[in-house]
Structure 1
Amino acid sequence: MFVLVRMSADVARSQGGDGEGKGKRNPNLGGRAVGILNTRNKTRNLSLKEITDTKGPIPIQFELRDKQTVMPLGDHAAHWSSYIGEVIRGVPLYPSWLKVPKERKAALITDIETQFDLRPHMESPDWTKINAGIQQHLQKAYNTNKPAFKAQHWFIDPTTGTYNVEKIRRERPENIT
């Protein structure tokens, strides 16, 4: 069987017509194509804030899985994941999650309590497992956020192809410890 496929001239024009793909990659943009930065605003969890402004902290349920993994359940499970990401973006950059001070981790739980009602879980005999699962969620979000933070603030020197450490140290953002 033979199939004839015609390439549209519009496709060739959208790629610059040179047949070399989507555009020139820029190492200072973390390998992303030039011109596609900031196409979306950061999430602000507006629907969650609207709910908590009218009803207070919302209930969240957790399922303890076989390997001590905690899964958020219910109508607000998606809000949970989004809010964890929002909370983590406010944590300064440390070498690893293990180096984040315990006081800061406790403050994150307090912050989460402003949006989600954790009180019933804190009073349950499973709180130790649930808290460990919440810490796992926070750690995963932190480790996911770190590369994005580096891409935003760490620049590769085009002459050497490596990070310009001196420039990074001089222009260090305030929330890096």
Structure 2
Amino acid sequence: MAGRPAGWGAALPGAGLGAVCLSAAARTAQIHRGAAAGFLLQALAALAGVAGVFGTLLGLPLAADSQAGTWVSTVIGFPLLAFGFHWLNGDHSTANVLLGGALLLAAGFEHFTEEGRALVVQSATVVTCISILTLSIFTMNFYGLLGGLVLSLAGLLSGMQVETLLTLRKEAVLSCLLAAGNLACHWALRTQHLDLD
């Protein structure tokens, strides 16, 4: 019984991340379907993690592979966000290179070692954040700058070897940062779309 509140508390930030990403996916679908798919992949990975926590707490044998979910949401979902930014800006060749590279890396999940997987996840995060930040600087998109910086902070934090930050679990802090970064990226895509009209 003592582990139940901690487990429920760990699932709530993941549920919040899933809700933010689902909302962003629904609202971004009219602007750019690729970016909406990136939000959707992140939402599905977060909600699968929440289902795994709830299943464990309720005694249900849910075999959710959180590593594979994180892999897909990061290696494909994040580059799809950058794909949307580049596509809306008219840079279709860079957008296609980002998407093609992400799909090739995602297909190699079984062939990478643990260290290789961690390196690919970090690389996908860095490339996405740099792409979003660069385009946001040139287009003067404040929300893009904010989203890129928050997602960069989440990527930096995910690579750190800490269990708690300011008495909060690392996963909870990461979920909150990812939710804030995805929300800012959604606003940035809307701003960029409105500027083009």
With normalisation by structure 2, the TM-score equals 0.19
Structure with a larger share of its residues in strand:
1
Considering only CA atoms, is the larger Rg found in Structure 1 or Structure 2? 1
Structure with a larger share of its residues in helix:
2
With normalisation by structure 1, the TM-score equals 0.21
